[in-house]
Structure 1
């Protein structure tokens, strides 16, 4: 396919649903290293990407007899449910509701504080759709189980509509981008960096972002068995994430220069927009703060998106030693 810019679907987004084991630059365990620590990430996993590119975890894990092994996914629910890696890609608030409903053995170990402007429901600027209420009977693209899945359901509910009042097109973000670009969708519920790319490529209208619906917290999860066996490794990764978040915010130009090439040579202004809208503030997970997760779970259960009611706060939580009571 001929393209006019390097930051197209092929360059940035890759194949939908693909799982890619990535190599050097902190990607593959060194020869003779001890046990690999398998980490996954996705395109929106900015801080994990920074750690991979900078090789931060290589030396720190080596001191404990481990080495990082990196794996990239576009669809994250399946590997989380199956335990395909040890430490999973950071995910939007809605995804743990689906994995908990499926009984996946996962422990929460970190949270990125809210960034509600980093996900939104958008339409082309020329669209006659002017509000969420106008989505009734329309086809809306969304990634199943994502934070945007909840935003879409909650925004419809706020307007007195049911999820069944729309036709959802369940597409992973790369395919959603292509479908939105060719006009196959009436609207698209999507997150950064895909949101920022769509806004840069053509005029679009934001019908609603997460403001007033969700904080859009992102959670980091680890397999229960790994957290129990190697809490010191989880601690190393937690501390590195905290540092990476502070580095991105303190060094915006350097962060843009680092991330732009691996995001498909995105123009610097798009990368800067993504980084400005995300908080990147990493903190321990507190059970009391999971009340918003319950709202998401109840909304999904009511909409028939999960089969049963769950207690979204009844999850395993790892906390760094300094924050334990």
Structure 2
């Protein structure tokens, strides 16, 4: 651990200003990812700005949306009764995403910003990582690939996005509230993350010093059913091999609208727009679900170590859709 300065912010404006003018500064909230990265030698901020005393927590219920403060913990959001009733797949993703100890520390804002678990990124002893050291290459492409992405990859990076809850939030068209020195702005989560392309070190649209202050989840229409299915090597404390977040509204035995996002397969939380197009107006059934799954994975670019993920992701999505529509056909 390298020496660093610790500053406790009194208000959001102060926190944003300090981090904006100092490119070596970083925000500190729950710390469940930030501290790990510092211990591993991946991140080396010279100043940490503690934002945990700022009034950015809590869940508020509005007529058409639920607003979640960025410092709300995963456990607090999972325990909210409106989330349990109207956002089942968000709650399921939160509970599947971490142990109880971590859920009581990790914040929603921090979860959206967690870095990849790629072993090559997390090990500074491995020279080739374009995400950690731009221009050095990508050791994962010729290395152990099993826990890497098959959607949104590039020749510079195949690192997987790790967040569980970002997957249903992407399906929901959630909005991120951001505060910077130029004032507040809103960013749709589907536009928040950046695929690696030629700049894997740029992971989202946040500018230096910008702070996530809240996430807004639009309420789905009454009667919408949702589900988050996570496939992993063990039943707890493990990242997804594949996952699917689905929300389906039906009327008269026909799918009026479906929202689909995939995890465990993308360099970003992957919105499966093509799958949604297949499902809209169709009657629930395995055949249409399989067509939707094929459409969702049509752009996959697997490597030998990730080839199994194509079929596994398709099966995961089919199973999630069957679960959420079992009484609708």
TM beyond 0.5: no
Query: Larger relative CO (CA 8 A, sep 6+): 1 or 2?
Result: 1
TM-score computed with the length of structure 2 as normaliser: 0.28
Q: What is the TM-score of this pair, normalised by structure 1?
A: 0.29
